[in-house]
Amino acid sequence: MHGYDACLIVSRTQHMLTLLKLLQDGRFHSGQALGAALGVSRSAVWKQLQQLEAELSLPIYKVRGRGYRLQSPLSLLDSEALNKAGSPWAHRVFDSLDSTNAEVMRRLAAGEVPPFAVVAERQTEGRGRRGRRWVSPYAQNLYYSLALRINGGARQLEGLSLVIGLAVLSTLRAFGLVDAGLKWPNDLLVNNRKIAGILLELLGDPADICHVVVGIGINVNMQSSVVDIDQPWTSMQSESGTLIDRNALIAQLSACLEGYLRRHELEGFSALREEWEGGHLWQGKPVSLIAGVQKIQGRVLGIDATGALRLSVDGEERAYSGGELSLRLSDDS
């Protein structure tokens, strides 16, 4: 690509981001005012709005005499707000990534020292557990990955994903979602609808020093008309009725993560086991545990000191753990 062409693309991207910042309040803005802010003509504004709508799938309304507005207000990420004094670690902010977990891995491979977090407005190849696609519309949800260095070997990995779940649960409840709860091993639900998920990826030797990439996805301001997801889901805005400030959400999440990770490091998972069971929505309920083609029927007793699921199966207690397991309520068709 020639240098001139690259400059044009950068300039166009900057104009689009500036336009988004001007329009994020969801109110009408005249073409003349937008053009003045960007230093371009009204016809150029219209072209950029069309491009913005096409590339980011953000519906834009045009009303003669009033101007342009987004279908819904946005809360855009703000690097300065996220990295203010008091942040437990640096937050790397991106407009678009293949996945935040993949970006963390690239940075670790290049020698960046954890802890640090990566967040993005959107992901083009977001991943969930068991290779599922994580739907990642622009500027609506939270796509967050945290790089951790684990020095304590296997003990520091015990129950780690469940500890992360407690931090996410604490964050959701801090924003008023008192009905949010945990679903073993890595999901959070509200009224049996998924609102958040966690994906941990390990780099290095788990018996010695290794890195863990903690991927967290939270449905924040996503609207049902925007996406097509093959399971029941909800969002923070749907539950609360208000637009959520994603910068405030990230700040709260990072603070909760730091607190729970410190407790886990000092006291081990056993110190958090009772709290996790208290937040587990399916505690004591009949469930089906799916492991490949095998389906195990049982009743949830809780979790053990390593975070494994304890089930009563035919009157006998059994423990299950592993990344390929899936839990369903027994009456869930």
In order of their start, the domains of the chain are: 3-70 (1.10.10.10), 79-277 (3.30.930.10), 282-329 (2.30.30.100)
Q: What percent of the chain has pLDDT over 70?
A: 90
Of the segments 13-17, 44-48, 223-227, 246-250, which one has the largest average pLDDT value? 246-250
Give the least confident one: 42-46, 132-136, 169-173, 310-314. Answer: 132-136
> Is 122 labeled as ligand-binding?
no
> Is 234 labeled as ligand-binding?
no
> Is 123 labeled as ligand-binding?
yes
Query: Does residue 185 have a cis peptide bond before it, meaning omega lies within 30 degrees of 0?
Result: yes
Give the residue, 299 or 86, on which the prediction is more confident: 299
Tell me whether residue 129 is one of the annotated catalytic residues.
yes
Residue 57's pLDDT is 83
Give the least confident one: 60-64, 226-230, 315-319. Answer: 226-230
Q: Given pLDDT bands bounded at 50, 70 and 90, which one contains residue 6? A: very low
> Is 100 labeled as ligand-binding?
yes
Measured CA to CA in angstroms, residue 33 lies from 45, 61, 108 at distances of 10, 16, 44
Give the chain's mean pLDDT: 89
> Is 50 labeled as ligand-binding?
no
Antiparallel, parallel or unpaired: β 325-329 and 286-291: antiparallel
**How many C-alpha atoms does 305 have within 13 Å on its Cβ side?**
6
Q: pTM for this structure?
A: 0.89
Tell me whether residue 328 is one of the annotated catalytic residues.
yes
- The tens digit of pLDDT for each residue in 210-221 reads 999 999 999 999
Q: Kindly write down the DSSP assignment for every residue of 161-207, as one continuous string.
A: HHHHHHHHHHHHHHTT-TTEEEETTTEEEETTEEEEEEEEEEEE-TT
> Is 241 labeled as ligand-binding?
no
Q: What is the mean pLDDT of residues 69-82?
A: 92
> Is 128 labeled as ligand-binding?
yes
Give the least confident one: 54-58, 131-135, 304-308. Answer: 131-135
Q: Given pLDDT bands bounded at 50, 70 and 90, which one contains residue 8? A: very low
Residue 190: pLDDT over 90:
yes
Q: What percent of the chain has pLDDT over 90?
A: 68
**Active-site hit among 107, 122, 129, 183:** 129
String of b and e for 85-105 (b: at least 16 CB within 10 Å)?
Answer: eebbbebbbbbebebbbbbbb
Residue 333's pLDDT is 39
Q: Given pLDDT bands bounded at 50, 70 and 90, which one contains residue 323? A: low
Residue 104's pLDDT is 98
- The tens digit of pLDDT for each residue in 193-240 reads 999 999 999 998 877 789 999 999 999 999 765 555 668 999 999 999
- The tens digit of pLDDT for each residue in 138-176 reads 999 999 999 999 986 667 788 999 999 999 999 999 999
Q: What is the mean pLDDT of residues 59-83?
A: 92
**Active-site hit among 92, 107, 183, 194:** 194
User: Strand, coil or helix: what is 31?
Assistant: helix
